[in-house]
Structure 1
Amino acid sequence: MSDDDKTPAREVIADYAQTHFRYFRTADGTVYAQKNGHPVARPIRSQGTSGSHRQELMVGLFNDGHGVFNGTALKEALDLIEALAMSQDVQSVHIRVAPGFDGATWLDLGRNDGKSVRIHPTGWDIITPDPREVCWRRTQLTGELPLPVKDTDGKGIDLLLRLCNFATAETECLAIAWLIGCLEPSVPVPAPFLTGPQGAGKSTGGRMLVRIIEGMSGDLRRAPKDEENLIAAVAAGWVTALDNLSHLAPDLSDLMCCIVTGAETIKRALYTDGDVVRARYRRPLLLTGIDVGVIRPDLAERLLPLRLERPHTRRTEAELWAEFEEALPVILGSLLNLTVQVRAATADIPTDLRMADFAHLCAQLDAATGLGALGAYRAALDDLNDDVIEGDLLAQTVLKHAAGLEAGAEQRMTSTEWLHCLTVLYSGEECRPLPKGWPTTGKVLSDRLKRLQPTLAARGVLIDWGRTRTARYIEMSRPPAPASPHEQAPAF
């Protein structure tokens, strides 16, 4: 055969690729390749160590007898395929959990055969999803989960609670509610903060909770020193667990708020002048530590404190993890059964809590099981408000000033006047020095009060901002306590 009759290598590769793979693009323009009939998708430009499309294309060509092709031919073929895929329909890719058709959700088991769990209104099944319904994205952080056991009769939940050292029944039901929330892709869940004395098994308990969702390869990590590395780690997995925190810097606190409720980062694409890369993330977050010091009010509303106690009997690591790994299929099966029951339960949506979706999930859990998850969640948030106030001298001073106001009274002053009033109240007659971080201007005071507004409102002190013709003002008030039923006027 003459050279003119030979099919160019790039055409052989392109024809093979379009026959054996499906190509599509995501909303951010990234092109993915999906082997026919398989739910796992890989970006065609990926060079990752977890397996790239270039590698699987080369292996497929070699195994099917087409030979070995040089890098230039592969690049030219992939350039053409990428250009053609840009005209295809947009489809999302997901890590670990994903929404499905007809109200179902999916859990990726991380298996090579693509088998996943479909959670639907009447139960759950282990099947391979239709690639047009669910496209999984795998990374090095995607561990393999065992096949869950169907008929567990709730034994898995009891096994989990026996292995963990949760201090109270309220803590146990909050941990269960969080695990159920991790299986729902559209519900933001607060970040569990495992606390307790030294030796209470906080790291071990955190690993267990993580490994129920991420498999036995899931683990805790140290908090990265910069925002970019933390976002990269968050985007590459589902549950992000940070271990042994002792201090929450303001930047890390703000970033944790974004991780819990969702945000987006944009940075310049490599080797370009005008193109950008978008990274959207909203992930379950888990923290462990004895004490992190002062907690900022906005983060406190997104935390879920889980207190542990020191175990009476110590066990070896090998024994403990061998038992957990053996029980994991039963634990996962029980969690899936309970998830179906909770989603089928009806309950009113609490409208007074910041994380309303999680509060509704707690109410559904109570309706399905009779547990007191919602009450435990409210009590946990109340304790966190106390922690915020105990760590903020300005909040303590505002409450001290508000204690002198009559119920129903309002007091208006400019921010500068409020700063002078609160500073004099804190300094007292002995003129003690102001603490580090005390507001230095009226603007700084106003900003601090905006952060403290929800915390103060939970203690019956309302802060509001307004304006007259001549100046802006800050208003502080104490609403009257609601009348008890026997004090209300009888209805005729």
Structure 2
Amino acid sequence: MSEDEKAPAREIITDYAQAHFRYFRTADGTVYAQRNGHPVARPIRSQGTTGSHRQELMVGLFRDGIGVFNGTAMKEALDLIEALALTEDVQPVHIRVAPGFDGATWLDLGRDDGRSVRIHPTGWDIRVPDPQEVCWRRTQLTGELPLPVKDTDGKGIDLLLRLCNFANAETECLAIAWLIGCLGPDVPVPAPFLTGPQGAGKSTGGRMLVRIIEGMTGDLRRAPKDEENLITAVAAGWVTALDNLSHMTPELSDAMCCIVTGAENVKRALFTDGDVFRIGYRRPLLLTGIDVGVIRPDLAERLLPLRLERPRVRRTEAELWSDFAEVLPVILGSLLDLTVQVRAAQADIPTDLRMADFAHLCAQLDAATGLGALAAYRASLDDLNDDVIEGDLLAQTVLKHAASMEPGTEQRMTSAEWLHCLTGLYTGEDFRPLPKGWPTTGKVLSDRLKRLQPTLAARGVLIDWGRTNASRYIEIARPAAAPPASAQEAAF
């Protein structure tokens, strides 16, 4: 064969790639490669340690006896493939949990053979998903889960609760509700905050909860020093667990709020002046620690305190984790069984709570099992409101002022007038010095009150903002107490 009749190397690579792989793009323009019949997709530009598509393609060409090609031919072929894929349909990729067809959801077991769990309205089963339905993306944080056991009769839930040191039944049902929420791709779940005395096994309990979803390689990590590193870690996995928190900066608190309820970060692409790429994230988050100090109100609405107690009998780490690994297939099977039951249960959606989706899940769990998860969730939020108030002197001062008001009355003043009033109430007759962080202007006071508004409303103090022809005002109201049920009935 003459040199002119030989096919260029880039054409050989391109023909092989299109015959053995499916190429598509995501909404942000990233092009992925998916081996035919396999649900795992890799970005074609990935150079990570989990294996790039370039390496996958080179190995396939070599093993199939086609040859070994130089870097120039491979680059030209991949450039052409990427350009062609940008004209294909858009399809999302998912980490660990994904929505499927006909109301089903999928759980990636992290296995090389691609087998995953399909959770559907009538039960769950293990199968390899259709690549057109689910595309998995895997990173170094994607661990392998064991094949869950069928027909456990709830035994796995009991085994889990025996291994964890939860303080009471309320904490246990909230932990179960959170695990069920982690299996839903569209349900924002509050972040469990495992607390308790020293030696209560907070880190161990956190690892157990994480490893039910992420496999035995799942672990806790220290909180990153900045928001950018935190977002990078969050985007690379499903459950993010931060260990031994002792202090929470306002920046970290705001970042955690975004992780729980969802946000998007836009960054400049490397080696470019104008191009950008987007990182969207909403992930389950788990925290451990004895005390994180003052909790901001917006984060308090997104937390789920789980209290642990010191165990009476200590066990070695090797024994504990050996037992956990042995029962993990049963735990996962029982969790999947319970998830199917909960999703099938009918319950009203609580409309008075910030995390309404999780509150609805708790109501469904109650309808399926009668555990009392919704009442426990409300009680936990009430305790967090107390923590916010105890750590905020401005909130305490507003409540003190409201206590002096007659029920059913309100007061309107400008922000500057309210600042003067509340400052005088705090300093008192002995003119004690103002604490660090006390508002210094009416604008700062107004912003602080907006953050505290839900917390104060839970204590019967309503704050609203309005405007007259002359100026803007802030209204603080103390509603009248609701009349007894007998009085309400007599009024009709």
TM-score by length of 1: 1.00
Aligned runs of 1:23-102 on 2, under 5 Å? 23-102=23-102
How far residue 274 of structure 1 moved from its aligned partner, in angstroms, is 1.1
How far residue 489 of structure 1 moved from its aligned partner, in angstroms, is 4.8
| SS of the residue 1:124 aligns to | strand
1:200 aligns with 2:200: yes
> Could you say which residue in structure 1 is the equivalent of 2:219?
219
How far residue 486 of structure 1 moved from its aligned partner, in angstroms, is 1.5
Q: 2:388 & 2:400 partners in 1: Cα distance?
A: 15
Q: Residue by residue, what CA displacement relative to the aligned partner does 1:386-436 show, whole Å, maximum 9, x if unpaired?
A: 000000000000000000111110100000000000000000111000000
How far residue 488 of structure 1 moved from its aligned partner, in angstroms, is 2.2
Q: 2:29 & 2:486 partners in 1: Cα distance?
A: 64
Q: Which amino acid aligns with 1:339?
A: T
> Could you say which residue in structure 2 is the equivalent of 1:233?
233
Q: Residue by residue, what CA displacement relative to the aligned partner does 1:265-295 show, whole Å, maximum 9, x if unpaired?
A: 0011111111101000000000000000000
Q: 2:56 & 2:488 partners in 1: Cα distance?
A: 74
Q: 2:131 & 2:411 partners in 1: Cα distance?
A: 62
Superposed CA RMSD = 0.6
Aligned runs of 1:304-343 on 2, under 5 Å? 304-343=304-343
Q: 1:168 & 1:480 partners in 2: Cα distance?
A: 36
Q: Which amino acid aligns with 1:341?
A: Q
Q: 1:222 & 1:485 partners in 2: Cα distance?
A: 51
Q: Would you identify which runs of 4 or more consecutive aligned residues in structure 1 move more than 3 Å?
A: none
> Could you say which residue in structure 1 is the equivalent of 2:262?
262
Q: Which amino acid aligns with 2:79?
A: D
Q: Residue by residue, what CA displacement relative to the aligned partner does 1:244-277 show, whole Å, maximum 9, x if unpaired?
A: 0000000000000000000000011111111101
1:362 aligns with 2:362: yes
Same amino acid, percent of matched pairs: 86
| SS of the residue 1:358 aligns to | helix
| SS of the residue 1:118 aligns to | strand
> Could you say which residue in structure 2 is the equivalent of 1:120?
120
Q: Residue by residue, what CA displacement relative to the aligned partner does 1:442-476 show, whole Å, maximum 9, x if unpaired?
A: 00000000000000000000000000001000000
How far residue 240 of structure 1 moved from its aligned partner, in angstroms, is 0.1
1:140 aligns with 2:136: no
Q: Which amino acid aligns with 2:169?
A: A
| SS of the residue 2:186 aligns to | coil
Q: 1:331 & 1:402 partners in 2: Cα distance?
A: 50
Q: 1:250 & 1:411 partners in 2: Cα distance?
A: 31
Q: Residue by residue, what CA displacement relative to the aligned partner does 1:63-106 show, whole Å, maximum 9, x if unpaired?
A: 00011001110000000000000000000000000000000000
> Could you say which residue in structure 2 is the equivalent of 1:464?
464
| SS of the residue 1:34 aligns to | strand
1:191 aligns with 2:191: yes
Q: 1:392 & 1:304 partners in 2: Cα distance?
A: 20
Q: 1:482 & 1:19 partners in 2: Cα distance?
A: 71
Q: Residue by residue, what CA displacement relative to the aligned partner does 1:355-382 show, whole Å, maximum 9, x if unpaired?
A: 0000000000000001100000000000
Q: Which amino acid aligns with 1:102?
A: D
How far residue 136 of structure 1 moved from its aligned partner, in angstroms, is 0.1
Q: What is the total number of aligned residue pairs between the two structures?
A: 492
Q: Which amino acid aligns with 1:296?
A: R
Q: Which amino acid aligns with 2:95?
A: I
Q: 2:85 & 2:237 partners in 1: Cα distance?
A: 26
Q: 2:119 & 2:390 partners in 1: Cα distance?
A: 43
TM-score by length of 2: 1.00
How far residue 491 of structure 1 moved from its aligned partner, in angstroms, is 6.0
Q: Residue by residue, what CA displacement relative to the aligned partner does 1:288-344 show, whole Å, maximum 9, x if unpaired?
A: 000000000000000000000000000000000000000000000000000000000
> Could you say which residue in structure 1 is the equivalent of 2:413?
413
